[in-house]
Each structure stands twice: as structure tokens, then as C-alpha cells.
Structure 1
Amino acid sequence: MTWLEFISSLISALVWPVAVLAIALVLREPLKGLVPLLHRMKYKDFEMEFGRRLAEVREEAGVENEISTEAAPTPEEIRIIELAKVSPRAAVTEAWRWVELASLDAAKLLPGEHFQNKTLTFQAIRKLEQSERIDRGAVLLLRDLRGLRNDAVHSPEFAVSSKAALEYAQMARQLVGYLQGVSGA
């Protein structure tokens, strides 16, 4: 190998790393502004975050991990199962809708000032939280499920698996059963 061949092979081996380093140095300032966005845009990590939060909520609420197969699923539950296969985000949103409707029904039956508004579920949930008719665990589960639902609706990088969406729906269904028991429905 001659000196010219050696220098040529050395240059060819170093040209790409040097080019990448030069580009990184030139674009250093614009890249610094993008780093926080890249951290937030990692949707797989967000899915794991949703799953971890869902597991914490499930553990706090004492909800079983698997979907119950004891009774035949209702048409609503079948719809959620099918929806979770196609769009887990939509399944989470639909399961939250169950909780909203049950909250409205339960809030209407609370003693004191009558809650007549049929559309302000946030106020209904707040009224339920303030009442002593539902226990602290149900209030915490209600808040946690609302937070997870808000992530599903408002976070652009939200991603969730079908399994996690079904677990969410199961917890929502159990909370609905509790709220219906409170309201006597």
C-alpha cells in the first residue's frame, strides 16, 4: 500500500463521520430547540406511560387485571371491544362516556340543591366528589379515569394499546356499576 492509497482510504473512512459532525455543529442551535419536542413526541414511551398509570389506577381501585367473562357482554361492551381493535383512543373516550352518564344520573339524585343540567358532566362529577355519598376510593378512581381520558382526547402524542383500552373500559364499567348502586338505578 502506498502513501497515496493509505491517505485515500483514511479520507474515505473519515468523510462520513466528519460530515455528520460538521452538520451537527452547524445545526447545533436549531437542534437544541427540537430536543424537547423529540422527547415529547416519543409516542411509544407515552403508551408505556399510559399503561403504567393505568396499572397504578387499577391497583389502587382493586380492579382485576382481566376482563370478566362470567356474564355475557352487553351490546355496549361488545361495541367497546370492537372499537378497541380499530381505535383504542376512541374506546377510551367511549368508556369515559359511560362514566359521564352514570355521574349525571347519580348527581341528579343527591340530596340538597337539585342538579338538573343534563350536559355539564364536569359539574355533576364535582358534585359527586363533594358529597359524602360516594367513598374516597370511588372519587380517586373517578379522577384518575378522567385524567387518563383527558390524555386520550387532548394529547396529540397519545397512543394506547387495545389491551390497555379494554382495561380502562373495565374499570369504567365497574365505576359505573358503583355509581348506579349509589343512585339506585
Structure 2
Amino acid sequence: MNQLEFWSSVIKSTTWPIVVLIVVWLLRKPITNMIEKIAELKFKYKDLEATFSKGLHKAEAELELQSSVSDNSESSDSQEDEESSLKNSNSAIKTKIAKEAPHLLVVMSWLLVENELNSVIDKLDNPSDLRHKPPTAKMKYLVDNNYLDRSFLDAFVDLGRLRNVAVHNVKEAQNISYLESKKYNNLTKKIIKGLQNIKYD
């Protein structure tokens, strides 16, 4: 093999990688734009586009109907003091989470709702297969059996969609603000309060 044959084989073997690199370099902006457009696709449920702030307003409107419901629970002073100090420490932690990573407060708030819902389902005399159903089916059971008002189910479904946005839509999750996460947390507290106020017959 002489020098001419050597350089010929080197050029043959490196030509296609160089061409690919040049094409990728030339098309880097269109490829980047295409990837960004795919990432910007919003979470969709049927034909409803769920942006976080719009979903919050909808859930808030549904739960406003329930804000007139009073809390009839009674507790002793020592229980109230203990609950108050626990709420203050939890509130400080939630505030810190909301400031650092608002989408994590959304996820944490949703987990608290699901935990309370599972607790209620366990206390009810219900079919055993209900425990293994999705959260929406459990909430629907409570509404269908007149434990809760329909507005709770509607708000629960909306908040569930927003939780999915926070978990599965990275770009939208990064856009969740501190105030939106706090508002989401407050709405989940209303659902939890409604679940806690269920009277067991």
C-alpha cells in the first residue's frame, strides 16, 4: 500500500461522519426549534388545554361553593395547641419548598389529598375492590353515595390534572410560581377538610 492508497482509504472512511457533522451543524437551529416546539406541547385532556393557572382558577371556583360549609369539629385546648404548633412547622416547611421548587409543593399537596382520601375509604363500609381503584373512582364513590358534594369531585379532577402537569410536563412545571403552588396547596386543604368532615353512619 503506497501513500496515495493510504490517504484514499482514510478519506473514504471519514467522509460520511464529516458529512453528517456538517449537516447537523447546518440544521442545528431548525432541529433545536423543532425540539422546543415538541417540548412546548401542553398537557391535554380531551380538547381541554390545561395550563396551570387556568386550572387553578377553575378548581378555586368549584371549591368556592363549599367555602360556606362550616367546620363543626370540636377539640380540646391541648389538641388545638398541639395541632397549631404542628401546622406552623408544616407551614414553614411548605413555604420553603414552595420557594425553592414550587412544583414539588404541588406534588406533595396532592399526595396529602390522596392519603386523606385513602383514609376515608378505609373507614367506610365499602366494597373491598374500591381500595385498589384509582383516586378519581374513590372520589366518585363518595359523591355518588352523598358523602361529598359534586363540586369536590370536579375540583379533585382538576387538581389531579394540574398535578399531572407538574409531574409530567417539565416546561410547564418550571413555570409554576410560588403563589400558584401556595394557591394549589390551599385548594387541596379545602378538599382534605371536606374529606375530614365526612360523617360516618
Residues 1:80 and 1:129: Cα distance change in structure 2 (over 3 Å): same
Question: 1:96·1:146 contact (CA, 8 Å) conserved in 2?
Answer: yes
Q: TM-score, normalised on structure 2? A: 0.60
Counterpart secondary structure, 1:182: coil
The CA deviation at 1:100 is: 0.8
| In structure 1, distance between residues paired with 2:134 and 2:91 | 26
Q: TM-score, normalised on structure 1? A: 0.64
The CA deviation at 1:174 is: 0.9
| 2:195 alignment partner, one of 173, 179, 185 | 179
Counterpart secondary structure, 2:104: helix
The equivalent of 2:150 in structure 1 is 136
| 2:110 alignment partner, one of 77, 81, 96 | 96
**1:87-137, Cα deviation, whole Å (9 max, x unpaired):** 1111111111110111001111233324685xx5x5354123133222110
Across the aligned residues of Structure 1 and Structure 2, the Cα RMSD in angstroms comes to: 3.3
Q: Percent identity?
A: 19
Question: 2:97·2:104 contact (CA, 8 Å) conserved in 1?
Answer: yes
Number of residue pairs the alignment of both structures matches: 145
**1:69-103, Cα deviation, whole Å (9 max, x unpaired):** xx968133332111101111111111111101110
Question: Is 1:49 the equivalent of 2:63?
Answer: no
Question: 1:99·1:176 contact (CA, 8 Å) conserved in 2?
Answer: yes
Unaligned ranges ≥5, structure 2? 1-25, 42-49, 68-82
| In structure 1, distance between residues paired with 2:64 and 2:197 | 18
Unaligned ranges ≥5, structure 1? 1-25, 65-70
The equivalent of 1:82 in structure 2 is 96
**1:43-81, Cα deviation, whole Å (9 max, x unpaired):** 9xxxx93112212221222188xxxxxx96813333211
